Amino acid sequence: MDKRILIINANPDKESLGHALAQAYKTGAESVHARVKFVNLIDLDFDPVMRSGFKNLQQLEPDLIMMQQEINAVDHLVFVYPNWWGTYPALLKGFFDRVFLPGFAFEYQDKSPFPKQLLKGKTARMIVTMDTPGWYYSLIYRSPGHHSIEKCIMNYCGISPVRFTSFGIVRKASEPKREAWIKSVSELGRKMI
């Protein structure tokens, strides 16, 4: 059976390097017959603000219901996003808040502090663009966005392994450097990792 992949591009700029990287992953995965669904997060119609927490969940908009169905149907999730202020864009955070809900992504358990992980068996790849040198993000900032997504969201819901590929300094990257990054992401897609 072909591997099923959902790519979510969380860079709102469709002319960005991030968008090109997301497309490159798609092209690579499709070249080896993966079934790929590609979504630009900015095109979804939903309120990214969780207005009452988990106590009174808002009704899910049709686009979020569709995204839950897509997540359930795939083996591998790919999120492509820019690193803004050390982490991911607010729209992506809002997406996680509104979609990765109790009953869908996890369930609380009465006799355990740990949740039942409802998305077990899925894997994820994060492709991150940034204007911070990678070594600085890792050593000085301690990779806060990476830790948040991996440990507090993906692993909490059972998604593992979660792999990261980060590119920076984007604003100073030459065209040949950008092309090399795009080619490397196409290869990740071809390997479906």
Question: Tell me: the pLDDT tens digits for 132-146?
Answer: 998 999 989 999 999
Mean pLDDT of 163-185: 97
> Can you list the domains of the chain with their CATH numbers?
4-191 (3.40.50.360)
Q: What is the pLDDT of residues 65-75, one digit of tens each?
A: 999 999 999 99
pTM for the whole thing? Answer: 0.96
Instruction: State the pLDDT confidence band at 2, using cuts at 50, 70 and 90.
Output: confident
Model pLDDT, residue 54 = 85
DSSP-assigned beta bridge partners for residue 112: 109
Mean pLDDT of the chain: 96
